[in-house]
């Protein structure tokens, strides 16, 4: 997509996955398609094709959904791992790479001291949806 379209297009797409429920999301997707299909038809086509998988997202409460679509923490973690592996381009064995990533992960997670403000609500909701798989 064109750089000048990226902000308005992503804002319109965000309106799809931040709606309250699935029927409203489908309405937003239709509005997105009307506005953007002339320039970028593959986006709405892809969303419609994969809607069965994407729509499971709407069974979760709003707090959990926000946690799912916010990828800043994951991107930051990946960036820090790349920084460690970039310095050394060749590893003698696969185990040496895994050990280096493991040690980097230990250092990275030591810095994770902050909590999400709504974590207690999210944790309670996840423990309902994933009973038996969530630690207490």
pLDDT digits (tens, 9 = 90+) for 92-136: 899 999 999 999 999 998 888 777 788 888 888 888 888 888 776
**Whole-Å CA distances, 98 to 32, 66, 78, 79, 102:** 43, 31, 14, 16, 6
Q: What is the mean pLDDT of residues 11-31?
A: 93
Gap between the Cα atoms of 86 and 73, Å rounded? 20
H or E, element range at 7: helix 3-17
Confidence of residue 47 (pLDDT cuts 50, 70, 90): very high
Q: Which two tokens stand for residue 117?
A: 């403000």
Instruction: Give exposure, 21-40, as e/b (b: 16+ Cβ within 10 Å).
Output: eeeebbebbeebbeebeeeb
3-state secondary structure 66-106: HHHHCCHHHHHHHHHHHHHHHCCCCCCCHHHHHHHHHHHHH
Q: Which pTM does this prediction carry?
A: 0.64
Q: What is the mean pLDDT of residues 19-36?
A: 94
Confidence of residue 33 (pLDDT cuts 50, 70, 90): very high
Mean pLDDT of all residues in the chain?
Answer: 89
**Contact of 51 with 30, CB cutoff 8 Å:** no
Residues 6+ apart with CB under 8 A from 47: 16, 29, 54
**Contact of 118 with 63, CB cutoff 8 Å:** yes
């Amino acid at each position: 997509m064109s750089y000048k379209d990226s902000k308005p297009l992503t804002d319109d797409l965000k309106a799809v996955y931040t709606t309250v429920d699935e029927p409203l999301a489908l309405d937003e997707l239709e509005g997105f398609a009307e506005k953007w299909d002339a320039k970028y038809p593959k986006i709405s086509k892809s969303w419609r094709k994969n809607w069965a998988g994407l729509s499971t997202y709407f069974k979760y409460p709003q707090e959990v959904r926000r946690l799912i679509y916010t990828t800043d923490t994951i991107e930051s973690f990946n960036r820090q791992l790349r920084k460690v592996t970039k310095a050394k381009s060749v590893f003698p064995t696969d185990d040496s790479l895994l050990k280096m990533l493991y040690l980097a992960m230990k250092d990275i997670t030591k810095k994770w001291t902050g909590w999400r403000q709504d974590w207690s609500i999210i944790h309670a909701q996840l423990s309902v949806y994933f009973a038996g798989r969530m630690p207490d």
